Amino acid sequence: MKTDIQCTVFDETSAYCLKDLCRLCRVHAQFIHDLIDEGILSPQGNNPKSWRFGAVEIKRIQISIRLQEDLQVNLPGTALALDLLEEIEELRSSKSLLEQLHALEKRV
Amino acid sequence: MEFKDYYATLGIERNATQDEVKRAYRKLARKFHPDINKSPNAEQRFKEIGEAYEVLQDIEKRAAYDKIGSNWQAGQDFKPPPNWDKGFEFQGREYTQAGASQFSDFFESLFGTRSPFTRAQTFHGQDPSFYRKGQDLHAKIVISLEDSFRGSKQTVTLQRPTVDANGHVFTSPHTLHITIPKGVTEGQRIRLEGQGGAGIGKDSNGDLYLEIVFASHPHFSADNRNIMLTLPITPWEAALGATIQVPTLGGTVELKIPPNSQTGKKMRLKGRGLSSSTVSGDQYVTLAIMTPHPANKSDRELYRKMAETMSFNPRRHLGVTS
A72: containing domain: 18-107
Q: Which residues of B125-145 are buried (b: 16+ CB within 10 A; e: fewer)?
A: eeeeeeebbbbbbbeebebeb
Q: What are the chain A neighbours of B26 within 8 Å (beta carbons)?
A: 71
Q: Note whether residue A34 is domain-resident.
A: yes
Could you tell me the CA-to-CA distances from B107 to B18, B55, B65, B157, B260 in Å, in that order?
20, 9, 10, 24, 68
Cα(B233)–Cα(B102) distance, integer angstroms: 54
Q: Note whether residue A97 is domain-resident.
A: yes
Cα(B206)–Cα(B211) distance, integer angstroms: 16
Structurally, how many domains does chain A consist of? 1
A29 touches chain B (CB under 8 A): no
Could you tell me the CA-to-CA distances from B149 to B38, B118, B153, B249, B262 in Å, in that order?
24, 44, 12, 7, 29
A90 touches chain B (CB under 8 A): no
The CATH number of residue A97's host domain is: 1.10.1660.10
Q: What are the chain A neighbours of B101 within 8 Å (beta carbons)?
A: none
Are the beta carbons of B185 and A11 separated by less than 8 Å? Answer: yes
Q: Note whether residue A10 is domain-resident.
A: no
Among residues B200, B235, B209, B27, which one has the least CA distance to residue B117?
B200
User: Residues A81, A82, A83, A86: is their CA dihedral positive or negative?
Assistant: positive
Please report, in tens digits, the pLDDT of each residue of chain B (322 residues total): 778 899 999 999 999 999 999 999 999 999 999 888 888 888 889 999 999 999 999 988 898 888 876 666 666 677 766 666 655 555 333 333 334 346 777 887 777 654 433 333 333 344 445 666 777 888 889 999 999 999 999 988 887 766 667 766 677 788 889 999 999 999 899 999 888 877 777 778 888 999 999 998 999 999 899 999 999 999 999 999 999 999 999 999 999 999 999 999 999 999 999 999 999 999 999 999 999 999 999 999 999 999 999 988 999 889 888 7
> Which domains, from first to last, does chain B contain?
6-114 (1.10.287.110), 137-214 (2.60.260.20), 221-318 (2.60.260.20)
- Cβ proximity of A34 and A75 under 8 Å: yes
- Cβ proximity of B98 and B121 under 8 Å: no
Q: Note whether residue A3 is domain-resident.
A: no
Cα(B162)–Cα(B81) distance, integer angstroms: 29
Question: What's residue B233's pLDDT?
Answer: 97
Q: Provide the residue count of chain A.
A: 108
Closest CB to B181: pick one of A5, A9, A67.
A9
Are the beta carbons of B35 and A85 separated by less than 8 Å? Answer: yes
Work out the minimum CA distance from B264 to partner chain A, whole angstroms: 10
Q: pTM above the 0.80 mark?
A: no
Beta bridge partners of B231: B287
